[in-house]
Structure 1
């Protein structure tokens, strides 16, 4: 049996889920900027209460490791590590874009079986964190930070649909709309529920992280914005 606490904070969504044997039994989430630090511990308490379990009863903590928002990832990973340290539980880290590709299968009726899945996380301006997957979860193009233009996916087969989704996809829709085979999933949001299958697989194979040394996958170095000089 596995009882896994799952945390997703890589984007504007703050999401916590509890999964038992690969099935979600409780979830709390909100899509709002800058609330992760305020909401995450409350959501953890809420899912435990909803499922009628104590935090000490979980078998592991799974966290979306990035890429994504620097602040969001830092909050999610530090919370996950804190629980693992305090409760002496193993830590599972799951790639954010891979979990997004898994979550996109909930829209399976909107694209073909040979479609290419292209999760996109906003990285400011026209840049996104992205990768390419098939519908079986195989990664066909590695994770990268890319500036999207009309030639970004020119090398991909034109006879296969390209499905774009995630909080970085909307700003790319207009640029890519001349590609007739591009499909946009407007209802997609990141969620801790999307970690469920991969987290259960990693738990079964004891694929755990070193809690002391694990860090989020930021992909790019954090650069703090400069405040304007006072006039």
Structure 2
């Protein structure tokens, strides 16, 4: 086991946490965002001060690596890479959609054949989504899905599917199959990264600080400013 600093900035929620031997010893969350460029540095400074005041050696830094907000991911990954380089500690990249599944698996009773579909809003009727079983084995790879009445039909015909995340709410009117279940108020938070980061640490799945980039899934497209009248 180890002490790990966790950073999550993939959505408008900004969160930082520290785990020691898998248990939470520090956690800070801001749901008012997006203000990651301001808030993240403050939270990280507080977390590092907490660690230092308790004379706890920091063994690694973990960052939620996407998909999600282009700007949010860039800010979080840049911060994590800087800490990794400055302190000469390993960098761990944790898939955001896996992070979202952790509170479901910890706190919800699910049927044995249940499937999990975390969704991140990608604007309009598009979401970033994947499908896992209860062991977090991928049943369908991550993709940018445009949701209609037929989305995920092959899974809904055979399994109860649980949809959650900030992209799921807008899909409820489209996904009306009896096997479609929706869970509210699930966010990717730093504290949900703990078990995934511990596994990555044990397997030494370290990222190359020089070359590691967020998993954006889609290229960033800047919108054109409206013409002034």
Which TM-score band (shorter chain)? over 0.9
Alpha-carbon distance in structure 2 between the residues aligned to 1:55 and 1:83: 18
Alpha-carbon distance in structure 1 between the residues aligned to 2:91 and 2:136: 22
Give the drift of 1:34.
Answer: 2.2
Tell me the SS of whatever aligns to 2:30. strand
Deviates further, 54-63 or 34-43: 54-63
Give the drift of 1:206.
Answer: 1.2
Cα 1:207–1:36 change in 2 (3 A) is same
Tell me the SS of whatever aligns to 2:79. helix
Counterpart in the other structure of 1:182? 180
Give the drift of 1:220.
Answer: 0.3
Deviates further, 137-146 or 49-58: 49-58
Number of aligned residue pairs: 229
Tell me the SS of whatever aligns to 1:29. strand
Q: Deviations over 1:94-149 (max 9, x none)?
A: 1111121223213423x323211000000010100000001111111000000011
Indicate whether 1:216 and 2:223 are aligned. no
Q: TM-score, normalised by structure 2?
A: 0.94
Indicate whether 1:124 and 2:126 are aligned. no
Deviates further, 81-90 or 215-224: 81-90
Alpha-carbon distance in structure 1 between the residues aligned to 2:2 and 2:216: 28
Uncovered stretches (5+) of structure 1, i.e. residues with no partner: none
Counterpart in the other structure of 1:86? 86
Uncovered stretches (5+) of structure 2, i.e. residues with no partner: none
Kept in 2, the 8 Å contact 1:48–1:54? The answer is: no
Counterpart in the other structure of 2:68? 68
Alpha-carbon distance in structure 2 between the residues aligned to 1:167 and 1:30: 15
Counterpart in the other structure of 1:166? 165
Alpha-carbon distance in structure 1 between the residues aligned to 2:55 and 2:70: 27
Q: How does 1:139-154 map to 2 (within 5 A)?
A: 139-154=138-153
